[in-house]
Amino acid sequence: PHRRGAFETTARRFVGGKVPLGIRRKGLRILVTGGAGFVGSHLVDRLMARGDSVIVVDNFFTGRKENVIHHFGNPNFELIRHDVVEPLLVEVDQIYHLACPASPVHYKFNPIKTIISFSAFSLFVLIIFLLMPSSYCLWWGEVSIVLLFVAAATAKNQIEQGGGLLSSFFGLFKALIHVAFCCGLHKTNVVGTLNMLGLAKRVGARFLLTSTSEVYGDPMQHPQVETYWGNVNPIGVRSCYDEGKRTAETLTMDYHRGAQVEVRIARIFNTYGPRMCIDDGRVVSNFVAQALRKEPLTVYGDGKQTRSFQYVSDLVEGLMRLMEGEHVGPFNLGNPGEFTMLELAQVVQETIDSNAKIEFRPNTEDDPHKRKPDITRAKELLGWQPKISLREGLSRMVSDFRKRIFGDQFVTKP
């Protein structure tokens, strides 16, 4: 279905499959996996505006059709519902591989609380069955007694930790989602990346991996340079994401060295902007949504941990420069401005609601204490650096969030 321009096909024959981007025909065919997600959809907008043909592949796990709906009907745009864990056959010149469920709500999960929640849930189930007529299900009586002992002990713990039966009930579902989610996440990062690299190899496409600053774990070096190997807990609650991306980087370099696939690796630091999932648990989306809904801003831990927040248009510019450039990377793509979570909450208060309250909550396990990119390499080799400050970026995303939370009629409300 998608054919190369005659000039490019001939050029590929002469140079053994690799054609410098500069001499390719205008209008490339580009695959964006995860293109219906937050970052992907902004990237698609830029590529479409440049005149390229874009194929988006997404399984809509965290992405939304609404993010790319404005391209429907454009002959240069194609949307395929597909899971990258399954093989994919398309003909393209470049692959931006973004597919990965990046929502922390699911993977930053406390397993101890999960077990406690599970047991307290069984107490809940037990009560329901005890209320049933005994003739209805006799053997439940015996099962109930065993469950009662286990559940009573653990429910005591749960309630001591500040949870109730209702939270135990939701805890069970969260636990089940967590197990399924982390397996899926790891599979997407490993099998999905392998498939996209196999595709890149077959069609001679250039492949860009969107890796993450999480590969640095809880860093012992500050700010983080690309040569730092990181400090990641391989068996921790976050490892399905961190280690998944580390494996994806390894696979990418293996295909580069072993199969001569042209690859690029971006290590993305915390990014925010319009179209972010509203309830995915990331700190910027949480604070902005909370401030708009007049709820307290939830600061985890003491709020002194730091992050560096980059606006999405800066990231997209960096990704495109990386893809078009001649350097493999990895490249840190992030804004070097460093903020504590309390400082971020303050900026959100200044931007959205000065009366917004702050509420402290227990932090999640293995939460990195600090993170800030050293972007010297990207500055020197890609000529890239972020332009949008946190204050400016936050004001830009507020109208999008307001519209999605309250509907169109509230867009102009201050």
Give the residue numbers marked as catalytic.
241
How far, in Å, are 32, 110, 188, 196, 199 from residue 82 at the CA level? 12, 31, 12, 12, 14
Structure tokens, 397: 């995303």
Residue 351 touches which of ligand UDP, ligand NAD, none (Cβ within 5-8 Å per kind): none
Could you tell me if 196 and 234 are in contact, meaning their C-beta atoms sit under 8 angstroms apart?
Answer: no
Site string for ligand UDP, 265-284 (x = CB under 6 A): -----x-----------xx-
Whichever of 41 and 308 has its CB closer to ligand UDP, that residue is 308
Structure tokens, 136: 């209805």
- Which listed residue (82, 201, 327, 370) binds ligand UDP by CB under 6 A? 201
DSSP letter (8 states) at residue 221 = S
Q: Does residue number 308 form part of the binding site for ligand UDP (CB under 6 A)?
A: no
Whichever of 247 and 363 has its CB closer to ligand UDP, that residue is 363
Q: Does residue number 245 form part of the binding site for ligand UDP (CB under 6 A)?
A: no
The residues in 57-96 that bind ligand UDP, with binding defined as CB under 6 A, are 87-89
Q: Does residue number 370 form part of the binding site for ligand UDP (CB under 6 A)?
A: no
Residue 307 touches which of ligand NAD, ligand UDP, none (Cβ within 5-8 Å per kind): ligand UDP
Whichever of 346 and 363 has its CB closer to ligand UDP, that residue is 363
Whichever of 120 and 390 has its CB closer to ligand NAD, that residue is 390
Whichever of 284 and 316 has its CB closer to ligand UDP, that residue is 284
- Least distance between ligand NAD and beta carbon 17 (Å): 26
Whichever of 157 and 167 has its CB closer to ligand UDP, that residue is 167
C-alpha 214/C-alpha 373 separation (Å) is 11
Which residues are registered as beta bridge partners of 95? 31, 207
- Least distance between ligand NAD and beta carbon 217 (Å): 13
How far, in Å, are 247, 316, 320 from residue 313 at the CA level? 27, 5, 11
Alpha helices (runs of H) in 188-238, residue ranges in sequence order: 193-203
How far, in Å, are 15, 60, 249 from residue 241 at the CA level? 38, 18, 12
Structure tokens, 364: 């999640």
Tell me the window of 27-35, 37-45, 243-251, 359-367 that interacts with ligand UDP (CB under 6 A).
359-367
Structure tokens, 156: 């005591």
DSSP letter (8 states) at residue 189 = I
Whichever of 367 and 400 has its CB closer to ligand UDP, that residue is 367
- Least distance between ligand UDP and beta carbon 264 (Å): 18
- Which listed residue (263, 299, 322, 347) binds ligand UDP by CB under 6 A? 299
Q: Does residue number 296 form part of the binding site for ligand UDP (CB under 6 A)?
A: no
Tell me the window of 45-53, 140-148, 150-158, 190-198 that interacts with ligand UDP (CB under 6 A).
190-198
Tokens 């807990």 locate to 233
C-alpha 130/C-alpha 144 separation (Å) is 8
Q: Does residue number 363 form part of the binding site for ligand UDP (CB under 6 A)?
A: yes
C-alpha 186/C-alpha 201 separation (Å) is 22
Residue 251 touches which of ligand UDP, ligand NAD, none (Cβ within 5-8 Å per kind): none
Could you tell me if 84 and 194 are in contact, meaning their C-beta atoms sit under 8 angstroms apart?
Answer: no
- Least distance between ligand UDP and beta carbon 386 (Å): 17
Structure tokens, 243: 């280690």
Per DSSP bridges, beta strands 271-272 and 297-300 are unpaired
Q: Does residue number 293 form part of the binding site for ligand UDP (CB under 6 A)?
A: no
Whichever of 184 and 219 has its CB closer to ligand UDP, that residue is 219
Strand, helix or coil for residue 276: coil
Q: 353 phi and psi, to 5 degrees? A: -155, 105
Residue 367 touches which of ligand UDP, ligand NAD, none (Cβ within 5-8 Å per kind): ligand UDP
Interface with ligand NAD (CB under 6 A): 33-34, 36-40, 57-63, 83-85, 98-102, 188, 192, 210, 212, 268, 270-271, 277
Query: Does the N-terminal peptide bond of residue 330 adopt cis geometry, omega within 30 degrees of 0?
Result: yes
Query: Does the N-terminal peptide bond of residue 223 adopt cis geometry, omega within 30 degrees of 0?
Result: yes
Could you tell me if 276 and 105 are in contact, meaning their C-beta atoms sit under 8 angstroms apart?
Answer: no
What is the binding site for ligand UDP (CB under 6 A)? 87-89, 104, 194-195, 198-199, 201-202, 270, 282-283, 286, 298-300, 305, 307, 341, 363-364, 367
